Amino acid sequence: MIPLDFSYFRPTTLEEALDILSEEGMIPILGSTDVVVKLRARRLKPKGVVDLKAIEELHSFSFSKEEGMVIGAAVTMNELIEDHPEVKENYPVFYQAIKKVGAYQTRNRATVAGNIGNSSPAADSVPPLLTYNAKLKLVSKEGERTVELKDFFTGPGKNILKQGEIIHSIIVPYEGPSIGMYYKLSRIKAVDLSTIGVALTVIDPDGKRDIRIALASVAPTPIRVFEAEDFIRGKELTPEVVDEFAKIVQKNTSPITDTRGTKEYRYEMAYVLPKKILRELGLYEEVS
Amino acid sequence: MVIKFTINGDEMEVDVKPNETLLDVLRNKLFITGPKEGCGNGECGACTVIYNGKPVNSCLILAPEADGAEILTVEGLTKDGKLHPIQEAFIEENAFQCGFCTPGFLMSTKALLERNPNPSREEIVEALSGNLCRCTGYDTIIRAVKKAAEKMGARS
Ligand SMILES: Cc1cc2nc3c(=O)[nH]c(=O)nc-3n(C[C@H](O)[C@H](O)[C@H](O)COP(=O)(O)OP(=O)(O)OC[C@H]3O[C@@H](n4cnc5c(N)ncnc54)[C@H](O)[C@@H]3O)c2cc1C
């Protein structure tokens, strides 16, 4: 029993949902994996929760090279990695990160929209999405707008959503084949939030070779480090270039100490991991 | 509010409150006590049930969300007083000591073997990573899952 009184709504149309959500104190829920934990800890005290899962259009998924991938808010993480082979094929770094969220049970409920809506600096789905230039379609009673994911977060647990506004879908452009890695360091291998998460994506590895990098759990929000990307663009991947790249990534972090790790450790790993990933991808060799 | 769901094959109507979890309702209203409350935060897996065909933590589901759902708990594994092959395998391999985590492990195993009848050790470990056991050290559990896979393969 959750020591709190609130009401529950399960609208079947978007219009109805947005109507209820426009009222102060109403919050949306999808997999409720974050929400129930927070309710129980009384870290959330809503007047009511609005379950979006009965709204058919939020369960849609589509992919095409022209339009990219469009993930409806209510699609679960396991649906993404088990039912849609396009995800692994075209967005391998995102696929790897999703597989590392929680346990199998968690992913049967958890959604990417909920991960983004929760706006934790540790959200594992976010760094890869940042490297793939993801956008969000937001809807409210007032209308809809599309925003860049990189402009969505404003602090730990904070974002630009207004009361009554929800994530309708996540749009991930297709910019060509990609390789890369999501490296998640956590205290235990099974179920744990990231001490640090690094997504390194290489778009068009055999052509223009565009290297992109984004990190979780090293700043108040997940971050993408454009400065490091600009530095490495077009350069041969010599040990010196890669080292400088990693130093620029590190310089852009501002980690804190918490139960999962110290700021010194995170800072060090923000330098070690980008190099390690490039090495493991076979993109450069360290000369000893 | 009154919700309707199917539990272990029986259709039921229950009066629930928004601040009750599915686990609360199963245990305290329906006296289906196979699912256990360990952490209450989705970390330990003791409350795992199969929900619309998929294993989930029943402690993280608000009771009204379960309206219309089809739910299987450990109580539904036994047919006509006969243990399920997974249960037999757990007994034969001594895959439990105190037994608190066992219903959760059985449900995760059932779901795993349904989607992958012949899992590798690695696949077993991954599928069970959301279930904690503080007694066995997991080796006997992994052996039991392998054995259950063999038994079920042999039977079908
Ligand atoms: C055991 C366990 C392990 C976990 N492990 C990880 C992990 O490894 N990595 C990780 O990143 N996370 C992890 N999490 C956190 C959580 O599972 C994820 O953040 C998940 O993606 C949340 O999705 P959900 O659908 O359950 O969201 P919900 O709990 O339903 O909602 C989360 C937040 O988003 C808001 N929200 C819901 N829908 C919308 C919408 N359409 N638009 C805008 N806001 C919305 C809610 O109001 C709430 O604030 C874990 C959680 C548990 C319980």
B9 and B55 assigned to the same domain? yes
CB within 8 Å of B55: residues ≥ 6 apart: A104, A105, A108, B48, B49, B107, B108, B110, B111, B130
Instruction: Provide the pLDDT for residue A187.
Output: 81
At A121, give phi and psi (nearest 5°): -60, -20
CB contact under 8 A, A78 and B67: no
Instruction: Provide the pLDDT for residue A288.
Output: 55
Final residue belonging to a domain, choices B30, B53, B76: B76
B71 and B39 assigned to the same domain? yes
Q: Which residue is closest in CA terms to ligand 1's atom 33? A: A118
* DSSP state letters, A78-136: HHHHHH-HHHHHH-HHHHHHHHTSS-HHHHTT-BHHHHHHHT-TT-TTHHHHHHTT-EE
B93 and B127 assigned to the same domain? yes
- CA torsion, ordered B73, B74, B75, B76, to nearest 10 deg: 70
Instruction: Provide the pLDDT for residue A285.
Output: 84
Residues B83-106 pLDDT 10s? 999 999 999 999 999 999 999 999
B14 and B63 assigned to the same domain? yes
Final residue belonging to a domain, choices B76, B107, B132: B76
The torsion region of residue B57 among left (phi > 0), alpha (psi -120 to 50) and beta comes to beta
Average pLDDT over residues A155-176: 98
Q: B48 lies in a domain?
A: yes
Do the Cβ atoms of A228 and A245 come closer than 8 Å?
yes
> Model confidence at B155, in pLDDT bands (50, 70, 90)?
low
CATH number for the domain harbouring residue B34: 3.10.20.30
> Model confidence at A192, in pLDDT bands (50, 70, 90)?
confident
Instruction: Provide the pLDDT for residue A188.
Output: 76
CB nearest A37 (choices: B18, B41, B61): B41
Q: B156 lies in a domain?
A: no
Instruction: Please state, in angstroms and rounded to a whole number, the distance separating the CA atoms of residues A271 and A253.
Output: 10
Residues B9-67 pLDDT 10s? 999 999 999 999 999 999 999 999 999 999 999 999 999 999 999 999 999 999 999 99
Instruction: Please state, in angstroms and rounded to a whole number, the distance separating the CA atoms of residues A176 and A186.
Output: 31
Residue A50 pairs in a beta bridge with: A9, A28
Average pLDDT over residues A194-206: 95
B12 and B57 assigned to the same domain? yes
Tell me the CA–centroid distance for residue A31 and ligand 1, in Å. 7
B91 and B72 assigned to the same domain? no
> Model confidence at A286, in pLDDT bands (50, 70, 90)?
confident
Domain count for chain B = 2
Structure tokens at B82: 């006969």
Average pLDDT over residues B121-135: 96
Q: B144 lies in a domain?
A: yes
- Residue B40 in contact with partner chain A when CB distance is under 8 A: yes
- Indicate the residue type of A89: E
B41 and B89 assigned to the same domain? no
- Supply the ipTM of this predicted assembly: 0.96
Instruction: Please state, in angstroms and rounded to a whole number, the distance separating the CA atoms of residues A104 and B110.
Output: 13
> What DSSP designation does B27 have?
I
**Cβ atoms within 10 A of the Cβ of A31, count?**
25
B72 and B6 assigned to the same domain? yes
Count how many residues are written for chain A: 288
> Which one of A22, A76, A101, A221 would you pick to mutate in the ligand 1 pocket, going by the greatest count of ligand atoms within 8 A of its CB?
A101
B90 and B67 assigned to the same domain? no
- pLDDT(A189) > 80: no
B10 and B56 assigned to the same domain? yes
HSE-CB at B71 with a 13 A cutoff on CA atoms is 30
CB within 8 Å of B135: residues ≥ 6 apart: B96, B97, B98, B101
Q: Give Cα A195 to chain centroid, integer Å.
A: 15
Do the Cβ atoms of A119 and A219 come closer than 8 Å?
no
Q: Which domains does chain A have, with CATH numbers?
A: 7-51 (3.30.43), 56-172 (3.30.465.10), 178-280 (3.30.390.50)
Tokens 């469009």 found at: A70
H/E element, B54: strand B54-57
Question: Minimal Cα distance from B39: which residue of A?
Answer: A37
CATH number for the domain harbouring residue B135: 1.10.150.120
Count how many residues are written for chain B: 156
CB within 8 Å of A84: residues ≥ 6 apart: A61, A63
B47 and B64 assigned to the same domain? yes
B102 and B136 assigned to the same domain? yes
User: Which amino acids bring their CB within 6 angstroms of ligand 1?
Assistant: A 27-35, 37, 52, 73, 101-102, 106, 109-111, 113-115, 117-118, 122-124, 161, 166-167, 191, 193; B 42-43
The overall pTM is greater than 0.95: yes
Final residue belonging to a domain, choices B76, B96, B112: B76
Domain that holds residue B31: 2-76
